[in-house]
Amino acid sequence: MAKPDLNCRAHIESFVDHFYERLLADPQLAPFFLDVAQIDLAVHLPHIKDYWCKLLLGEPGYQRHTMEIHRRLHRKRPLRPEDFQRWLEIFTSTVDDYFEGERAQRAKHLATTIAANMQKSLPPA
């Protein structure tokens, strides 16, 4: 049976839910979200869903500045190259496990670019 593509809000929301389930279970990355950033999932997940809908569907909902958010986090606890690598591994495996198609491939490409750009933009740990 073919997997769906990330071609509508419902699929992107499902992806984000699966992705964050994995992130928050990961011993390397969960502390960034739970202890350092102390995210409130009820607030955070809608922003992330809007972010990916903007990137993949062109929806206008997301208006936040992601680099500044991550700079503040980095000042509290440095994000290291291996953290970006792990984030990308979880992102890619989540896409591959649940989705396929042109936008799924685009999401993985965008995630690779985002991780690389963010890593370059933050001061060395």
Query: Binding site residues for heme, as ranges?
Result: 47, 70
Q: Please write down the HEC assignment for all residues of the chain.
A: CCCCCCCCHHHHHHHHHHHHHHHCCCCCCHHHHHHHCCCCHHHHHHHHHHHHHHHHHCCCCCCCCHHHHHHHHHHHCCCCHHHHHHHHHHHHHHHHHHCCCHHHHHHHHHHHHHHHHHHHHCCCC
Residue ranges at the known binding site: 47, 70
- Would you say how long the chain is, in residues? 125
